Each structure stands twice: as C-alpha cells, then as structure tokens.
Amino acid sequence: MSEIILHHYPRSPYSELLRIALGIKGAAWRSVIIPDIAPKPDLTPLTGGYRKTPVLQIGADIYCDTAIAIEAIEAALPGPSLFPAPLGRLHAVLALQAGGATFSQAVGSAMAPFLDRIPDAFFDDRKKLFGFDRDRIAKAAPHLLAQFTGWLARLDDALSDGRAFLGGDAPGYADCAAAMNLWFHGNFGMKDARTARLPHLAAWFERITAIGHGTPTDLSAAEALAIARDAEPTAIELIEPDSGFTASQSVTVRTEDPGADAVSGALVRLTPREIVVLREDPHVGRVAVHFPRIGQILAPA
C-alpha cells in the first residue's frame, strides 16, 4: 500500500480531526504543509480545484473532505477501528453534526475576540468561499458563543455517566470530530475557560489529547506530486442504478459552499456514500478524486 499523505496546515480544525484519527490508528504518515488560503498551486494538480483543507492522498487516489478521508484511513489501516462498538457507524452521524452548524458556531465564537488580529487576506478568502466576514462574525458572536457552550454542556452531560469516550471505552470518529471544535478554541487560549465548569468534558479532552497524532514525517509538495504521478488510481467502477448518471460521463463536483470551485472529471463511482471522478493533469497524470456524497453538488459537465 502507498503511504498515507496528509495535505494540511497546523491550525486547520478539520486537519486536527484527521490527525487524531491517525493517532488512534498509531499510524506512520507523511505531512505536506499547504497554504491556509488560495491559491494552492501545489495542491490543485491533485484535486482539480477543490480548495478546502485537509486533503488525504494515497498514491493516485485523492480524498477531498474528512468524511471520505476517514473511510480511506479505516480501509487502509488495521485496528483499532474508527467506528468502535457499540456506536459503530453512528460515529459518522455524530461527526456529521459536529462538523455542521456546531462547527460554524465553534469557529465564529473562537475568532470573534481576535477579529482585528486576523489578516485581511484570510477573510477575503473565507468570504469568497463561505460568505462570512468580520462584520457578520462580530454581530453574531454572542449567539455563536451561547450555542457552542450549550453544545459543550450537552457533551459534558453525555460523558457524566463515566464513559471514557463518546461511544464508550474506545475513541472513534465522533470523538475526533467533537474534539476539533474544542481544540480550535484552545488555539486562541480559551480551552480552559470553555471547560472550567464542565469537568467530564475537560477529562475527555485530556484523554483525546493524550492519543497524539501517530508518527508524521515531512514530505515536500513536489514529492507528493511525484508519488501520484508514479501510481495508478485504485477506484473500482460502480454507478448506482437509476442515478441518472453513467460510467465515464463528464461531470462536475463542487461543495455546497457558495464560492466553491467545481472539479471536472469522468465519473467512475457514484453511490449514496461517495462520488469518484477520474481526471488527467500534466503534473500528475491520471488521478481519482474521491468525495463523500453528502455535501456535494454533482452535475453533468
């Protein structure tokens, strides 16, 4: 199996989700640091224009969005599972919630006290992609914080029965997703304030932190591109019957974010769980770009 390569940057919360997941696996993996804003010229040959962070690479298979990257990690590496019993696949449902409205509340409430210290270029990029800016965050800050702290209190309630992790004795995907939100507040020095009256949550987060990130080693962007160029995609053709699409059809895929760029390619896989397109790039040759079905807009090219 090709090495697992994570294209990320240190302060990215979704990258932290995958770094914790790799820690649960005790994985050795390669780390490519990418810019936190567009353009990302060394990443675009792999993704075809997808510009969110992180991106997971295994050979010539490129996984865009943590929901599909988690599946790739689970398939590529032996236990412990990211979907431990008794929750099993319910971990993915809880992770979807933690990465939805709660994620926006966590990020907005963490950034609000520091809006004047965040570079204009960052907000220009995020306004184009997501539609939020300083004024919107400043106006919504009290509500965002109230919602986020309410969610933290519910997590503390869930952990008050003595369980070590959200699903029981073993950490899983749901823990990774929930932890990234509190971790992001820690980046701004506010973790202790958020957990001061939530002792079960504080102890849980310490257990998550103790997991670590596995064993990353640095890799250059040029080396990652060369690995993709020397590999072949492993995606197996499968198109859901009655989907309205056909194998090898030219399509575009874009996230639901208002400013997202579309990725073009030939459709090779479409199920209720995933979308995979094959695309050619002069820098890397043929690659398979994988997306989760949820959160993507698929259209004929």
**Domains, the chain, with CATH or none:** 90-210 (1.20.1050.10)
Average pLDDT over residues 126-148: 94
Q: How many CA atoms lie within 13 A of 196 on its CB side?
A: 5
DSSP 50: -
Token representation of residue 27: 């994985």
Residue 239's φ and ψ, nearest 5 degrees, are -115, 125
The single residue listed with the structure tokens 């992180």 is: 54
CB 30 within 8 A of CB 224: yes
Q: How far apart are CA 196 and CA 162, in angstroms?
A: 18
Q: Could you tell me what percent of the chain has a pLDDT over 70?
A: 100
State which amino acid sits at residue 290: H
Q: How far apart are CA 294 and CA 33, in angstroms?
A: 27
CB atoms within 10 A of CB 54: 24
Question: Is the full-model pTM beyond 0.85?
Answer: yes
Q: Which region, left, alpha or beta, applies to residue 214 given φ > 0 means left and ψ of -120 to 50 means alpha?
A: left
Average pLDDT over residues 104-114: 97
CB 292 within 8 A of CB 67: yes
Kind and range of the H or E element at 286?
A: strand 285-292
pLDDT of residue 220: 98
Q: How far apart are CA 239 and CA 234, in angstroms?
A: 16
Given a cut of 90, whether residue 170 has pLDDT beyond it is yes
pLDDT of residue 165: 98
**pLDDT band for position 285 (50/70/90)?**
very high
Token representation of residue 11: 């302060």
pLDDT of residue 251: 98
**pLDDT band for position 248 (50/70/90)?**
very high
Average pLDDT over residues 75-104: 96
Average pLDDT over residues 169-197: 97
Residue 285's φ and ψ, nearest 5 degrees, are 75, -140
Cα Rg of the chain, angstroms: 19
Average pLDDT over residues 198-227: 98
Which residues, 6 or more positions from 140, have their beta carbon under 8 angstroms from its beta carbon? 108
DSSP 196: T
Given a cut of 80, whether residue 178 has pLDDT beyond it is yes
pLDDT of residue 147: 98
Beta bridge partners of 270: 239, 275
pLDDT of residue 2: 87
Token representation of residue 28: 């050795």
Average pLDDT over residues 51-71: 98
DSSP 54: -
Average pLDDT over residues 143-151: 98
CB atoms within 10 A of CB 70: 25
